Structure 1
Amino acid sequence: MAKITQFPFVRHLRGNATTYSECLTRGRRTHAGVGAGFWFRPLTAAISEVPVDDREQEALVRIRTSDLQEVTAPATVTYRFAEPAQAAGRVDFSIDPRTGRWVENPLETVGGMIHGATAAAVAGGLNGRPLREVLSLDLGDVADATVVRLQADARLMAIGIEVIGVRFALLRPEPEVERALQLPAREQVQQEADRATFERRALAVEKEAAIGENELANQIELAKRREQLIAQNGANARREAEDDAAADAVRVRAEASRGTALAQAKAEAARALGEAEADAEAARLDAYRDAGRDLMLSLALRELAANLPKVEQLVLTPDLLTGLLGRLTSGERV
């Protein structure tokens, strides 16, 4: 927007680098140019200001395909005023000499013209085609064809507009039709997902089966080793029992042999002792055979005394002593 400075009776306009300004005085162009600055009288001057920078205009185009389906084509048109003087002569770009603002809304007017031209260009390129073909078109190709049609549009050329480019967001049918078209693709995706799920489950089952077989093989191998261990333990126990039995038999035989030898030794000793006692008794009897009566009586008394119980006290009476003393004095044997 240009900057207007007020002075008594005159005013000064200073434009910027992206606007085209012109001043008409009594129907004659007195000042014009991009970024122009000039003096003017507000009562006699008519000033227009046209932007020359690149601008964008949104356009929502609806077309009908050959199979009677409606398609929405949201587009963005990039344009600029290549001939601003021509645009100022065809569209009201006049500004208020006091504020520098547009008196009308020229960009809305130009936007409506661009929207109509874009709708006509898109319809001319897409009408008469079936829905699936329209939805499968390359948006870049559609945009290039639309740009060519807009650049050749007489109405836009008349107001000095140059179309630089067009962008399409997405060609979309009606919601119900779009859902119906998406259904086969969704079904296919779902089928692929189900197939992937089934394959994953099958792979998991195979892995579980392999793991089960591995565990079973390990259990079988463990059972075989346990069987071998039990057999080895039995053999070891049997060998140990046989060794213990053999050792017991040897020990029993040794004890029996020792007992027999001891019994024989005892028997020989007893026999020798008996023979010695018998010989001694025979010798004693031979010695006693020649002894007198008194000697035998003394020996008998000695044996009797040896076998008598222990005498704690001995009491000698006068009678006994008198008799013994009498015998001793008379010379008799006691």
Structure 2
Amino acid sequence: MKDTDPDAVFVQLDNIDHAGHSHGAASSAYLDAIRTADAQVGQLLTAVTSRAGYAAEDWLIMVTADHGHTDAGGHGGSSRAERQTFLIARGSGVTAGSVRHDVRMPDVAVSALVHLGVAVDPAWGLDGRAIQQPVPDDFDTLRAALKPPADESGIGAGVVGFTHTPPAGWAVDNSRMGGGGVTEWRGWSFTTDEFWTGAQRDQQRELNIRARNVFAVADGDEWSDKAVTGTFDSTLISPAYAVRGGAAATLTYTTYYRHQAPQKGEVLVSYDGGTPALVKTYTADTSSRTESLRLQVPAGARTAQVRFRYTGGDNWFWVIDGVKITAS
């Protein structure tokens, strides 16, 4: 690498994984393997930075692991220890010394493609997005306001990760919401992957791969883990977005919906404070994806507002993130 001229280099350092399987993540052998890999990464960086043309080159270096290990050894389950990993990056488009909460494992491949100048075709259906192109949304502003567990006992007292207070411009209508239940999930909540997946393992929460940082969750299943009265009926209401009367607009959001009857998810849109009209209904499992719904704005309308209404009980959940309306 110091003397050749590659466009891209992939290096796998596998001894940490071997140590984890053989000795477990709580072992001295695991720590020794990490130290060895750290030294090897240092050698690779030195080879790159000592290149004769390095000052004129544009490198993006990413260091990651595809999974963690249990203390006893092994992986493949849904525990936080097995799912937790990291991405350390250095190069153009990456702020040195920054700590980010919006990065997921699928971002590695997309970030490499973007850095190499390869246009990512939406038709490929890639789950990742380039770390060089962050896309913060309103929900992410809530991270500093997240609270520790209230009723949930399995997440860990030191883990902050939920609030019922929406970001500026947003609202939650719980006027039809049942009573009781688990505090964290009473109506739409704003949470994180670490907190929400920690609430209950092995119910496919970890497949919520496209939501980033802080996202909104309506979770009738977790809410019903304590005695409840009535049903889960909560509506998440967006700010009023500017639109052009008589023109088309596009409603975009990330969603992940797991279904069990009589649960239902409804997306409604209103214009200039008028009566909301139904534009999308969820009554079947929907994998984590980005929805793009075409809206025909009525003549004379100036604003559009979105409502996400979840109704159900001891059923499953609905995740919403990255909501926006763009005028055509």
TM, length-normalised to structure 2: 0.19
Q: Which has the higher contact order (CA 8 A, sep 6+)?
A: 2
The structure with the largest alpha-carbon Rg is 1
TM, length-normalised to structure 1: 0.18
